[in-house]
Amino acid sequence: MVSQQDPRRNIPGTDRLLEFVAQQQVDHEISDAALKRMIQQLQAKARSGDIAPDQVKDQLLAELAASRASSLTPVLNATGVIIHTNLGRSALSQSARDAVHDATGYVDVEMDLGTGKRSRRGAGTRHALLEAVPEAEDVLVVNNAAAALALATAATTHGAGKKAAVISRGELVEIGAGFRLPDLIASTGVELTEVGTTNRTTVEDYAQAITADTGCLLKIHPSNFWVGGFTSTPSVAELRTLATEHDVPLIVDQGSGLLRPDPVLKYEPTVVEALNHGADAVLCSGDKLLGGPQAGIIFGTTELIHKISRHPLARAFRADKLALAALEATVRSGTTPTIEALHYDAEQLFHRTHDMAQQLGVEVIEHDGRVGGGGGAGVRLPGWALSLNKELAYPLRTGNPAILTRVHQDCAILDLRCIPAEHDTAIVETLRALIGQKHNSGTVE
């Protein structure tokens, strides 16, 4: 029993609080059900004495103002790692963001508005990709490169009355988070015929392994590691000759989505190179070096893309309209934040970093940017960064804006390479407040 004097008697009821929110005309994005849950949680806090009953209303307003329908928090990537998998890989260009926004309602993703009839899904995206890569006869977009690999191998093996894909032991890659490409391929029932050794595989190894059950020859770019020393692996061109001799398709997993050579990435194979050297299908990610949304893109011959598109898994792996919209805009707009960060002029980065350091009285250090995302393994991008007290990493990460630094050897390194300059003022203000606080109290936690 709550006694007459008990302050808990003063906890406002649900209806009164709902009415209060309506009267205050607070701009918020949450549903009625979520609002009720928020109210009930605050009432519970007041009952347990965590907050005073007369704080419930203020607390409710504050929580509502801070509430967002999605819990995903925008992050300023100050790590210097361009394709940061934990941050959703590539940041989209402005035109890709706009395209996503426009595609959120009903759109003609699978309809020709001229005839009013059903059309090929994502026709505009297909055109943009074929304009960017005229070396390919056709293209199919799926959910991601892993899906593209599973689909392409499934369609050319059991989808074609065969059983196995031939792959080099030097290309049995784990892509991250414990996922291994050979397991992925085998998961659709494709048998893997492994040939060669970890460091050396020859065309003869492939040749000897081909049987009547062979559905495809597979070449996977080991993008997240590199081997040196006594190594060899057949080129796409050599495998092409063999594939023609045995009349089996040659599939290349290029990975990064780098379409054409880039001087910064001297050793990264490209999609166009693999097509020119005779691959029947070349697959890659949309959100690595292509700088677009999560997607898997399969460039190839008309015949093979047709076969792949008709496999039942193509329906399970199909790309959604938002990804198709973002991908088309990414390809058409020419540049992306990923490409810009990759080519960031070191001198310009120095000036920007130095400016910030002077305003804050902190140190500038040399700091190499990285490609990340399992691409450009070993490539270093010379640049500069702020060196901050390691204790700042936490408040920066959890602040507003959230700023993710790179914690390394007792420092929080703040690299501006992947951050648009329009955020510099906010970063300086945030840091000034945190550093000031630290000086006053001796600690920042």
Ligand X SMILES: *Cc1c(COP(=O)(O)O)cnc(C)c1O
Which one, 206 or 317, has the nearer CB to ligand X?
317
Q: Which stretch binds ligand X (CB under 6 A): 215-223, 301-309, 345-353, 399-407?
A: 215-223
Q: Which residues of 395-425 are buried (b: 16+ CB within 10 A; e: fewer)?
A: bbbebeeebbbbbeeebbbbbbbbbeeeebe
State the minimum distance, in angstroms, from the CB of residue 363 to ligand X.
Answer: 35
Name every residue whose Cβ is closer than 8 Å to that of residue 53 and which is 6 or more positions away in sequence.
7, 8, 10, 11, 12, 46
Cα 302 to Cα 311: distance, rounded to the nearest angstrom:
15
Which one, 145 or 339, has the nearer CB to ligand X?
145
Cα 125 to Cα 23: distance, rounded to the nearest angstrom:
47
Q: Contacting ligand X (CB under 6 A), which of 43, 79, 157, 223? A: 223
Which one, 258 or 386, has the nearer CB to ligand X?
258
Q: Which stretch binds ligand X (CB under 6 A): 36-44, 154-162, 218-226, 323-331?
A: 218-226
| Cis amide bond preceding 420, omega within 30 | no
Using the structure block, give the residue that is written with the tokens 């050599």.
Answer: 238
Nearest to 131 by CA among 339, 333, 331: 331
Q: Is residue 233 part of the contact set for ligand X (CB under 6 A)?
A: no
Q: What string marks each residue from 164 to 203 as x (binds ligand X by CB under 6 A) or -?
A: -----------x----------------------------
Which one, 21 or 173, has the nearer CB to ligand X?
173
Q: Which stretch binds ligand X (CB under 6 A): 125-133, 250-258, 262-270, 341-349?
A: 250-258
Number of residues that bind ligand X (CB under 6 A): 14
Q: Contacting ligand X (CB under 6 A), which of 38, 146, 251, 325? A: 146
Q: Contacting ligand X (CB under 6 A), which of 144, 157, 193, 233? A: 144
Cα 185 to Cα 187: distance, rounded to the nearest angstrom:
5
Structure tokens at 49: 């004495």
Residues 268-297 touching ligand X, rule: CB under 6 A, are 285, 296
Residues 287-346 touching ligand X, rule: CB under 6 A, are 296
Which one, 61 or 377, has the nearer CB to ligand X?
377
Q: Is residue 371 part of the contact set for ligand X (CB under 6 A)?
A: no
Nearest to 294 by CA among 84, 72, 89: 89
Cα 123 to Cα 108: distance, rounded to the nearest angstrom:
10
Q: Is residue 255 part of the contact set for ligand X (CB under 6 A)?
A: yes
Quick one: 51 exposed, middle or buried, by C-beta within 10 A (0-12, 13-18, 19+)? middle
State the minimum distance, in angstroms, from the CB of residue 398 to ligand X.
Answer: 28
Cα 7 to Cα 52: distance, rounded to the nearest angstrom:
8
Q: Is residue 220 part of the contact set for ligand X (CB under 6 A)?
A: yes
Report the residue closest to ligand X, judged by CB: 255
* DSSP SS3 for 99: helix
Q: Which stretch binds ligand X (CB under 6 A): 63-71, 138-146, 162-170, 258-266?
A: 138-146
Q: Is residue 374 part of the contact set for ligand X (CB under 6 A)?
A: yes
Name every residue whose Cβ is closer than 8 Å to that of residue 163 and which is 6 or more positions away in sequence.
157, 190, 191, 213, 214, 215
State the minimum distance, in angstroms, from the CB of residue 317 to ligand X.
Answer: 10
Binding residues for ligand X (CB under 6 A): 144-146, 149, 175, 220-221, 223, 253, 255-256, 285, 296, 374
